[in-house]
């Protein structure tokens, strides 16, 4: 199960806006690759919607079936808008 914990308004390049739901998975215990120590974390993701702000707000706190997974894909270029840094990613 994943839980809808928030929503955000995003702006497209053409200036129009849309909403995304922030979903969060369950508690996971993982081991740090650098220190070997264990820590608790959760995965989160943002899902674009066609909903307005009122509808998004009504979903906050709801749980839905599913899990958040990191899937490998072909390499693509991602630019961090705040810094201009270019990253080559291979997951979604």
At 10 the pLDDT is 95
What is the CB neighbour count within 10 angstroms for residue 21?
22
Burial grade of 7 (CB within 10 A; 0-12, 13-18, 19 or more): buried
Predicted confidence band of residue 92 (pLDDT cuts 50, 70, 90): confident
More confident residue, 91 or 49: 49
- Distance from C-alpha of 47 to C-alpha of 92, rounded to nearest angstrom: 12
pTM of the prediction?
Answer: 0.77
User: What does the domain layout of the chain look like in residue ranges?
Assistant: 2-91
Q: What is the pLDDT of residues 19-57, one digit of tens each?
A: 999 999 999 999 999 999 999 999 999 999 999 999 999
What is the H or E stretch that residue 74 is in?
strand 72-79
Record the tokens describing residue 37, joined without a space. Answer: 């120590």
Q: What is the pLDDT of residues 49-81, one digit of tens each?
A: 999 999 999 999 999 999 999 899 999 999 988
């Amino acid at each position: 199960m994943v839980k809808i914990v928030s929503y955000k308004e995003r702006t497209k390049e053409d200036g129009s806006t849309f909403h995304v739901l922030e979903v969060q998975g369950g508690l996971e215990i993982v081991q740090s690759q650098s220190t070997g120590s264990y820590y608790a974390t959760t995965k989160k993701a943002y899902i674009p919607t066609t909903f307005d702000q009122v509808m998004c707000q009504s979903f906050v706190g709801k749980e839905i079936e599913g899990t958040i997974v990191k899937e490998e894909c072909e390499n693509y270029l991602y630019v961090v808008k705040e810094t201009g840094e270019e990253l080559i990613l291979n997951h979604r």
